[in-house]
Amino acid sequence: IRQFAASGSRDKLIKIWDLDKGQCINTLIGHDNWVRGLVFSPSGKYLISVSDDKTIRLWELSTGRCSHKFEAHNHFVTSVDFNSQYPLVTTSGVDGYVKIWDCK
């Protein structure tokens, strides 16, 4: 079983890493500011990212394309998590809000 990791940084890029090979296998481009948080969906088909550009983005890992973009908070979005039992995503931001997103 191949294992993957994702990293995001102030360069606005998301990198997908093959941990077995120790190599970057894809670079996802789309955020307009620092990437602050990343989480893989429980199925492993998607990656969700949050950024200082105030957005959440849903990435299809098979294509490397951003399939959905949501204006999430009124200030930097700082964290994201995917519920493993229900199709819910939680985000928090510098605006002081925690939001729960239904992914149905």
Complete edge-to-edge strand list for the sheet that includes strand 77-82:
77-82, 88-93, 98-102
pLDDT score, position 81:
96
Distance CA 43, CA 49 (A): 16
Report whether pLDDT(104) > 80.
Answer: no
Residue 91 CB contacts under 8 Å (≥ 6 apart), including other chains: 37, 50, 56, 72, 73, 77, 79, 80, 98, 99, 101
HSE-CB for 45 with a 13 A CA cutoff: 2
Residue (of 24, 16, 102) closest to 63 by Cα position: 16
pLDDT score, position 103:
83
Indicate the pTM of the whole model: 0.92
pLDDT score, position 1:
62
Q: Determine whether 23 is exposed, middle or buried from the number of CB atoms within 10 Å of its CB (0-12, 13-18, 19+).
A: exposed
**Residue 48 tokens, joined:** 């969700």
**Segment 39-92, tens digit of pLDDT:** 999 889 999 999 999 999 999 999 999 999 999 999 999 999 999 888 899 999
Average of pLDDT values for 21-40? 97
Distance CA 7, CA 103 (A): 23
